[in-house]
Amino acid sequence: MTKKRVFANIFDFATNWSTRLQPAEAEVLQRILDIRVVDARVVQGQELSDRYNICPDQEIVTISNRVFLEQVFYNKQRHLKPQNFKSDNDDGLDDPTVGKGCDFCDPQTWTASETWGRYENEYAVSASNLFKYCSRHGLVILKSHDPFKFSHEQFRGMLDCAGTWFERTALEAESSPSADGLVSHPLLIWNTLHRAGASQWHPHMQTMLQGVPFPTQEKIDAMVMRYAFHPGAPSFYRDLTLVHAAASLVREIRVGDQVAYLFPSLCLYKDMEVQVLGQALLCPAFTRALHLGLRALIEELGSRTYNVGILNLSLGGGGGGGGGGDGIGIGALGWTAMGQNAQTSSMSSVTTSPPNIRLTTATTASTGAGQGAPAWLLGRPVLARIFNRGKVSVKSADMAGLEVMGGSSTGHCDPYDVVQAIDDTVDRLFTSTEATIRVLTPDNL
Ligand SMILES: [Zn+2]
C-alpha cells in the first residue's frame, strides 16, 4: 500500500508534531491530546549497569487523552526490562479441549438458551450465558473452533448474531420488565484466550444489556458532550479522526457509499490498540475495517490474546448518529444495524464472496476526497477498540497497579508499526474491487 510516511515512529511524532502539522490540525490535537517528551535519569552501580545495559538517560513520551481520560507512556528502555515469569511452555498455546471435547463445539447441548430461544445463521449461534454478569447476558458462538482463523464472512456472521441477540432480548424485556427496568444499555465484547479473560478456547463474543449504563460508556458519553462546549462546538469523533489522520495513521475503508475509519490509537489503553469508527454494527465498511484490524494483530503482529469491545451501540433508531436512513429501527427498541430487521433477521445481507478489496491511495481514490466528514461521524458513531493482552507465554499480567489504579498504561508496540501491519495485511489479503482502502488525510474531513 503506497503512502507517504510523515513520521517514522511515535517518538518522532511526539517530538515534531507541533512543527509538521498544519496550525489548525495542531489546535485540534491539543484539544484532545496532551503530548510530552520528558527526560528521566537513573544512577546505576557497575554490576547493575553491566547486567542490563540500561541507558542512564531515558527519553519518555507521555500522551494523555483529555476526553477518554487515559494515558500512555513510551520508553524504549522498557524493552530491556527482565521478565522473570516466563512459562515452562514455549508458546503457551495448548488447547485445553484437545482430548476432552469442547463445550462450544456442541452449543445445543452444552450451552443454555435465552427464554426467547436462540438465533442462528450460517456462521454463528447465540446462547444465554450460564454465569451472568448482569440480568441479560448472552453469548455468540462461532461455528468454528480455531480462535485465530476466521474470515470476514464468519466475523460478520458473529456480529449479525450479536445484533439479533440485542434486538430480541430488548424486545422481550420490553414486554416482561424486570427489576432492572428498561434494559437499554448494551455492551458487546470478545475476549480471546485466558489472558484476555476468556474461559473457553473456542471463539465466542459476549452480549450484555442492563438498566444502567456501563461506566466506561457513561464516562465517554459525558466527556464527549463536554468536548462540544469548546468554542465552535466541535465534534469529538470527527476531531479524533482528524488528529490521527494528521499523524498519517488513519485508513479509510469504503464499501459502496459506506465508509469506516481504522487507526492505531496514539493514546492507547492497552498495547497495539486499534480503533474503528463506523456508522452501525453491521455497516459493511465497519465490519471490513474491524476484521482487517484483527487480522493485522493476529497475522502480522502475532497477537494470540486480545479484547474487542464495541461501544456507542444504541437501541432505537438513529444510533448511527444521524447517518440518515441506513439503520432500521423497530419502534422504541429498534436495533440500528444496517440491513437488519427484528422480525426477519437472516444472513441475506451477508456476502459470502471471498475478501473483495481494492487498494488505492488518497491521490488515486475516485470517491470521498474533499467531501468532508460523513454525517454519522459528527454524532455518536459505533466505536470498536481492540487491545492486545500481552504474550500467552508470559505468566505475569499485562495490567498492574498502573492501569487499575492510575488509569495509565505502557506502550510496547509503536502505533507506526501497527499501521504498517495493517497496510501489510491489506497488501497480502485484499486484492479485488468490492471495497477500497486509502490513507485518509485531514483535508478529506
Ligand atoms: Zn470448540
Q: Are 312 and 385 in contact (CB under 8 A)?
A: no
CA of 203 to the centre of ligand 1 (A): 8
CA of 103 to the centre of ligand 1 (A): 6
pLDDT at 137 over 70: yes
Phi, psi of 184 (to 5 degrees): -110, 10
Task: Report how far residue 393's alpha carbon sits from residue 391's, in angstroms, rounded to the nearest whole number.
Answer: 5
What residue type is assigned to position 221 of the chain? Answer: D
Q: Are 100 and 107 in contact (CB under 8 A)?
A: no
- Which whole-number Å values give the CA distances from 175 to 116, 168, 333, in the listed order? 12, 11, 11
3-state class (DSSP) for residue 268: coil
Mean pLDDT across 215-244: 96
Within 53-204, where are the H helices? Answer: 107-110, 152-175
User: Where residue 90 falls among pLDDT bands split at 50, 70, 90?
Assistant: low
Which pLDDT does position 183 carry in this prediction?
84
The rounded Cα 417 to chain-centroid distance in angstroms is: 17
- Which whole-number Å values give the CA distances from 213 to 139, 169, 188, 221, 339, in the listed order? 20, 17, 13, 10, 26
Buried b (16+ CB within 10 A) or exposed e, 8-47: ebbbbbbbebeeebeeebeebbeebbebeeeeeeeeeeee
CA of 107 to the centre of ligand 1 (A): 9
Mean pLDDT across 271-300: 95
For the domain bounded by 10-81+113-444, which CATH number is listed? Answer: 3.30.428.10
Which pLDDT does position 142 carry in this prediction?
98
Question: What is the 3 state secondary structure string of 410-441?
Answer: ECCCCHHHHHHHHHHHHHHHCCCCCEEEEECC
Between 356 and 264, whose confidence is greater?
264
pLDDT at 352 over 50: no
Which pLDDT does position 367 carry in this prediction?
36
CA of 326 to the centre of ligand 1 (A): 35
User: Where residue 289 falls among pLDDT bands split at 50, 70, 90?
Assistant: very high
Q: Are 243 and 250 in contact (CB under 8 A)?
A: no
User: Where residue 181 falls among pLDDT bands split at 50, 70, 90?
Assistant: confident
In the predicted model, what is the mean pLDDT of the chain?
84
Phi, psi of 183 (to 5 degrees): -85, 80
Which pLDDT does position 325 carry in this prediction?
33
Residue among 237, 264, 238 at smallest CA distance from 251: 264
- Which whole-number Å values give the CA distances from 59 to 34, 39, 56, 105, 244, in the listed order? 16, 5, 10, 49, 23
CA of 37 to the centre of ligand 1 (A): 47
pLDDT tens track for 7-25: 999 999 999 999 999 999 9
What residue type is assigned to position 273 of the chain? Answer: E
The rounded Cα 19 to chain-centroid distance in angstroms is: 30
Task: Report how far residue 221's alpha carbon sits from residue 347's, in angstroms, rounded to the nearest whole number.
Answer: 32
Residue among 4, 10, 28 at smallest CA distance from 412: 10
CA of 223 to the centre of ligand 1 (A): 40
Which pLDDT does position 300 carry in this prediction?
95
Question: What is the 3 state secondary structure string of 82-111?
Answer: CCCCECCCCCCCCCCCCCCCCHHHCHHHHC
User: Where residue 85 falls among pLDDT bands split at 50, 70, 90?
Assistant: low
CA of 108 to the centre of ligand 1 (A): 12
Which pLDDT does position 342 carry in this prediction?
32
Which pLDDT does position 368 carry in this prediction?
36
- Through-space distance between the first and last CA atoms of the chain, rounded to whole angstroms: 21
Residues, CB within 5 angstroms of ligand 1 (ion): 102, 104-105, 145, 202
Mean pLDDT across 230-243: 95
300: which DSSP letter? I
How much of the chain exceeds pLDDT 70, in percent?
Answer: 83
Between 79 and 80, whose confidence is greater?
79
pLDDT at 328 over 50: no
Task: Report how far residue 305's alpha carbon sits from residue 271's, in angstroms, rounded to the nearest whole number.
Answer: 11
CA of 145 to the centre of ligand 1 (A): 4
Q: Containing H/E element for 186? A: strand 185-192
- Sorted by sequence, the CB contacts under 8 Å of residue 236 that are 6+ apart come out as 32, 67, 224, 227, 228
Coarse DSSP helix, strand, coil percentages of the chain, rounded to the nearest 5 percent: 30, 25, 45
CA of 189 to the centre of ligand 1 (A): 19
Assigned C-alpha cell, 147: 480462535
Residue among 208, 204, 209 at smallest CA distance from 110: 204
Grid-cell match 475495517, residue found: 289
pLDDT at 329 over 90: no
CA of 443 to the centre of ligand 1 (A): 47
Mean pLDDT across 30-37: 97
CA of 67 to the centre of ligand 1 (A): 40
Beta bridge partners of 188: 207, 310
Mean pLDDT across 318-333: 33
How much of the chain exceeds pLDDT 90, in percent?
Answer: 66
